[in-house]
Structures are given as C-alpha cells and as structure tokens.
Chain A
Amino acid sequence: MNIKVDARGEACPKPVIMTKKELDKMNEGIITTIVDNEIAKENVSKLANSLGYEYEVDAKDEDEYHIHITKGEVVEGISESIKDEFKDMTIAFASDTMGEGSEELGRILIKSFIYTVTEVTPYPSTLIFYNGGVRLTCEGSEVLEDLRALEEKGVEIISCGTCLDFFEIKEKLQVGEVSNMYTIYEKLKNPANLVTIG
C-alpha cells in the first residue's frame, strides 16, 4: 500500500494529524506526506520517529518536502522509546468539571488535571470528550493550550459530535477531531487502561 498525504498549505499541527490518521488506518505500507515548510517537515519526521517507523526526507525544493514513512518495520531500539512516550491509555472526559461536590472546585481541578497530563510521560494515546466534556475542546475553554500541545505530541483528541450538536457549539470546536459513538466505543473498549473523569 502506498498513500500520499498532501498537506501543503495546511497549518500546524494539521500535517501531523493528517499523517497520523493515515498511519493508524493502514497495517503496513508507505505514506508520503508532502509539506511546504521546514517546521511541518520536522514535525512529521518527529511523529514518524516517535512511532518507531523508518522515514526518509526528500527535499524537492525549498517549499516542497516529501517525507516517506514506512509502516511495518518498527526499528529496534526506537520501539522502546515509543513505550516511554505513549501509553495505551484513553482518558474520557464526561464533564467539564472533575468530580461532584462543588462545581467551582471541579472546574479548577479539571484544569489542574489536564495540566498534569501535559507534564507527565508517557502520554495517554487518546483523550475523549463527551456530554459537558466537549466544552473543554471548544472556544472559551481554559485548557485549549494544553490540549493543543498534547495534540502536537501525537495524542489523539476526539469530541462527540452529537454532544457538540446538542450544546450548539459544533462550529466552536478548537482542537482535535469530531467523532461518533462507534469510534468512541472503540476507543473506550480497546485500551489497556481507561480513566474516566467527570
């Protein structure tokens, strides 16, 4: 399988997300991501490296880089470092506050929690937001900066589309992808570790 991802003109971290999405879909094969700037080239290369895949950069021009990533040949040694970087863990956010008892306290606790996630490795592989939790990925959320940083590191961020729709904030989504209950179920049932916050 050979797939091309044309990420020219896409703002950071989009090229990384686009590449990761294709990589997740395929069992083995080569993905060629085309980007138009040095930073995107670096970030896509870093992604390949952190996942332990062989990659090669082909600089066609000053504003055209082709990064060929081969999935299937996990390089020995590096695979150890992926284990350090990511953990097979999903954190589900069922609310924009943490725990019950005081909403005011819950709002501060959840900020504090998400900050801590950014500070501690290995990172979780996926963060899922549903019901009131989707407020955390939308405009006005105080944790957007942290969530963007995690996304850039390769953490998958998923918001429930039905929930965004219910709160009428679909167009206010600022970070991550929108998904449906099938994906949410898949992400909740597969990981070795599942933590629910809400």
Chain B
Amino acid sequence: MKNSEFGVITFKSTHHAIKGESIFKKEDIKFRMIPTPREVTHSCGLSIKFDLKNISEVKDIIDRNEVDIDGLFKLIKDEKGNSSEKLN
C-alpha cells in the first residue's frame, strides 16, 4: 500500500455523523464518509475523511455550523502500518 496521510473527523454517534455529512455537503469542500479507521476506535463507526491541506477550511466549517464532533485526527499510512495522531 502506498504511503498516505489524511484527516479524519470522528463523531460521538451515528446520528451526529449523519448530521455532520449533511452540513459538509452544503459546503464547497471535498470530503467523504468512511468507516472510522481502526486506529481511531473510540468513536462511532462513521467518520469524515478530508484532505489535510484543507484543515483550516474544515475547522472553519465545524466552528461556523457548530458541528458536534468527537475529534480531529491525522491518519498516517506507511510501511509500518497505520497510525493516528490527534489534531488540535
């Protein structure tokens, strides 16, 4: 598998995730719903995946719409496997 990094927004519940998706859909940003990566297990099963270069827009969307999120993470895939880092 090729090395990659991307951002992940986790939610407290599936309902929060579905609401989060509908808010993000109204914004001009590329994102997608993914199953929450195993490395970030303590949240609900659905997350938003986004490009890390859009991190400031993502944070802005969350703030403006008061999206109730669980956490923001950076997911790193490399030779050693997958790992995650919490973003602030």
Contacts and interface: CB of A to CB of B under 8 A. Distances in A.
A104 B18 CA distance: 8
A contact residues, range: under 10
A105 B35 contact: no
A112 B18 contact: no
B17 interface: yes
Contacts of A111: 32-33
A115 B18 CA distance: 17
B interface, how many residues as a size bin? 10 to 19
Nearest to A115: B34
Contacts of A105: 14, 18
A116 B45 CA distance: 12
A12 interface: no
Contacts of A82: none
A91 to B, nearest CB: 16
B46 interface: yes
Interface of A: 104-105, 108, 111-113, 115-116, 142
Given A105-B14, A115-B32, 11 more contacts: A105-B18, A108-B18, A108-B21, A108-B33, A108-B46, A111-B33, A112-B33, A112-B35, A112-B46, A113-B35, A116-B35
15 contacts: A108-B17, A108-B18, A108-B21, A108-B33, A108-B46, A111-B32, A112-B33, A112-B46, A113-B35, A115-B32, A115-B33, A115-B34, A115-B35, A116-B34, A142-B32
